[in-house]
């Protein structure tokens, strides 16, 4: 099995949905449950959401910034009293507010490149999520097939035990009849004891495989956890009609790990454009509005005038007077009136041209160039790994089929040898040791055929997996 998938046994699954299922589990149900509740997959979903947040932020960079500010102050201390025109210890209150807006008119297309990078980031996380799902699916198929093999092996061993006991009983009858010597029973009794050991070992292996799959799915009810009782026969797969080159060409365009690596290259290239855009000038436009409010009393005119002396004529002693408008103390103006009278507007443009910034932009561009090269290298490595894995999987699948066919022929030959030895033993032409050895070789061939069968099934499933065929049995 591939080391990549064996390492996935460290994955922790969180039980939901099928966690309380009591009916026998089909492969499809087990795979669906694993994909739905695997913690690493849940984290990958969060990574997608996080990437979408970065995309939303990149879209927001195209929008103008708009901010409102407000303040209220108390001026306590020595202030002039408008009613007495004297300096007094008093407190005055003031409120102020403002609205400012700025928008980027040009920044070397930095916002466009950042949005490109963010869109690719969402796509990359989606590819990674799907790749993780596929890995978990293959892991579940492996565990499920192991349970199937163990289950069928238990049936085989139980059947062989029944045959061994039946042969022992038949031999005992022949011994009792005087056809065979009593010594012939000893070897067959040892054979039955050995077969009982193998049956117990097979049952133990099945329990271990079943519990391992249940733990993989975090099913706590081990006792009631069972898989569907279906006979999975070995059938020829059309996938072997394809050449490794055809399989690779198909996988290179559809495998999520390859698409993830390709997208990372595009992200690195977009980030390089963002870094280079920092060489360009930045032009922003701004607008600001502000006003203020006072809560102090004020002097207002009364529409009447009073005479006030301003001097005396020297020759006649006559006073010189002037008319001044009369005033009175009134409350502060309404807020709406003050806002209209005290408002102000501020607008203009800002141009920022980078000249010298401690080589920060240059070094950032250099780092992003390295990231582009690194991403391309990782993509090439991923392609090489995929090609090597597909060719190896193809050879394994071919070899698995050949091994299974050879195991079938071996079983047929061992069966004929066993039947022949049984006839000779029954007729007294062979010893119990010869008969027991023939039976042991036949039993070993049956077990080897069963193992070769499920090994070939899994190797074919791996090959179909790379070709994009759904994992089903």
* Average pLDDT score over residue span 90-97: 81
In angstroms, rounded to a whole number, what is the distance separating the alpha carbons of residues 331 and 340? 17
pLDDT band, very low/low/confident/very high, at 203 (cuts 50, 70, 90): very high
Count the domains in the chain: 1
**Angle CA(108)–CA(63)–CA(346) in degrees, nearest 5?**
90
What pLDDT sits at residue 329?
67
- Asked if residue 13 lies in contact with residue 37, where contact means CB atoms within 8 angstroms, the answer is yes
pLDDT over 80 at 198, yes or no: yes
Is 324 within a domain?
A: no
Least trusted range by pLDDT, from 255-269, 275-289, 300-314: 300-314
pLDDT band, very low/low/confident/very high, at 79 (cuts 50, 70, 90): confident
In angstroms, rounded to a whole number, what is the distance separating the alpha carbons of residues 454 and 150? 10
How far is the first Cα of the chain from the last one, in angstroms, to the nearest whole number?
18
Please provide the average confidence, as pLDDT, over all residues in the chain. 83
Q: What percentage of the chain carries pLDDT values higher than 70?
A: 89
In angstroms, rounded to a whole number, what is the distance separating the alpha carbons of residues 171 and 161? 15
pLDDT over 80 at 218, yes or no: no
- Asked if residue 35 lies in contact with residue 238, where contact means CB atoms within 8 angstroms, the answer is no
Is 327 within a domain?
A: no
In angstroms, rounded to a whole number, what is the distance separating the alpha carbons of residues 296 and 331? 7
Is 349 within a domain?
A: yes
Q: Is residue 358 left, alpha or beta, with left meaning phi > 0 and alpha meaning psi from -120 to 50?
A: left
- Asked if residue 214 lies in contact with residue 176, where contact means CB atoms within 8 angstroms, the answer is no
What pLDDT sits at residue 9?
37
pLDDT over 60 at 336, yes or no: yes
* Average pLDDT score over residue span 38-67: 91
Is 304 within a domain?
A: no
User: Which secondary-structure segment (H or E) carries 104?
Assistant: strand 86-106
* Average pLDDT score over residue span 152-162: 86
What pLDDT sits at residue 236?
58
In angstroms, rounded to a whole number, what is the distance separating the alpha carbons of residues 81 and 78? 9
pLDDT in tens, 106-152: 999 999 999 999 999 999 999 999 999 888 888 888 888 888 888 88
Question: Is the C-alpha dihedral spanning 264, 270, 275, 276 positive or negative?
Answer: positive
The CATH number of the domain holding residue 353 is 1.20.1600.10
pLDDT over 50 at 1, yes or no: no
Is 322 within a domain?
A: no
Rg of the chain in Å (alpha carbons): 45
* Average pLDDT score over residue span 8-23: 44
In angstroms, rounded to a whole number, what is the distance separating the alpha carbons of residues 213 and 219? 9
Least trusted range by pLDDT, from 13-22, 137-146, 195-204, 439-448: 13-22
* Average pLDDT score over residue span 317-327: 78
pLDDT over 50 at 316, yes or no: yes
> 87 vs 77, 147, 327, 332, CA distance in Å?
10, 97, 19, 19
pLDDT in tens, 361-395: 999 999 999 999 999 999 999 999 999 999 998 99
Q: Enter the DSSP assignment of 25.
A: B
Is 418 within a domain?
A: yes
Which range marks the domain in which residue 352 is found? 3-297+332-466
């Amino acid at each position: 099995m591939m080391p990549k998938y064996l390492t996935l046994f460290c994955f922790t699954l969180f039980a939901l949905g099928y966690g309380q299922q009591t009916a026998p589990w089909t492969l499809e149900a087990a795979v669906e449950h694993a994909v739905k509740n695997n913690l690493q997959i849940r984290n990958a979903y969060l990574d997608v959401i996080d990437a979408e947040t970065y995309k939303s932020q990149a879209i927001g960079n195209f929008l103008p910034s708009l901010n409102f500010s407000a303040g209220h102050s108390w001026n306590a201390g020595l202030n002039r009293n408008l009613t007495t025109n004297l300096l007094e210890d008093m407190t005055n209150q003031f409120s102020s507010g403002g609205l400012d807006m700025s928008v980027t008119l040009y920044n070397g297309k930095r916002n466009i490149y950042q949005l490109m990078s963010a869109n690719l980031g969402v796509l990359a996380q989606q590819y990674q999520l799907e790749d993780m799902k596929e890995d978990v699916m293959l892991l579940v198929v492996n565990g499920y097939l192991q349970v199937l093999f163990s289950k069928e092996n238990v049936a085989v061993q139980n059947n062989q035990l029944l045959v061994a006991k039946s042969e022992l009983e038949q031999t005992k009858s022949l011994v009792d009849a005087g056809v065979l010597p009593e010594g012939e029973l000893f070897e067959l009794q040892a054979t039955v004891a050995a077969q009982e050991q193998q049956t117990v070992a097979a049952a133990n292996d099945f329990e271990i495989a079943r519990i391992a799959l249940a733990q993989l799915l975090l099913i706590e009810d081990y006792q009631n956890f069972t898989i569907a009782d279906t006979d999975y026969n070995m059938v020829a797969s059309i996938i072997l009609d394809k050449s490794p080159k055809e399989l690779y060409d198909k996988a290179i365009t559809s495998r999520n790990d390859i698409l993830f690596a390709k997208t990372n290259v595009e992200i690195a290239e977009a980030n390089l454009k963002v870094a280079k855009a920092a060489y360009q000038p930045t032009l922003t436009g701004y607008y600001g509005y502000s006003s203020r409010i006072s809560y102090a009393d004020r002097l207002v005119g009364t529409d009447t005038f009073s005479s006030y002396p301003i001097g005396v004529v020297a020759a006649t002693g006559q006073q010189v007077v002037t008319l001044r408008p009369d005033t009175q103390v009134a409350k502060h103006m309404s807020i709406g009136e003050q806002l209209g009278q005290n408002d102000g507007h501020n607008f203009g443009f800002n141009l920022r041209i980078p000249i010298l910034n401690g080589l920060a932009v240059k070094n950032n561009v250099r780092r992003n160039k390295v990231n582009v090269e690194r991403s391309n290298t990782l993509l090439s490595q991923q392609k090489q790994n995929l090609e090597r894995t597909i060719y190896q999987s193809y050879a394994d699948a071919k070899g698995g089929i050949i091994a299974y066919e050879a195991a079938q022929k071996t079983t047929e030959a061992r069966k004929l040898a066993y039947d022949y030895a049984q006839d000779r033993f029954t007729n007294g032409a062979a010893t119990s040791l010869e008969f027991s050895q023939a039976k042991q070789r036949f039993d070993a061939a049956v077990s080897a055929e069963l193992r070769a069968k499920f090994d070939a099934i899994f190797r074919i499933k791996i090959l179909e997996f790379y070709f994009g065929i759904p994992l089903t049995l």
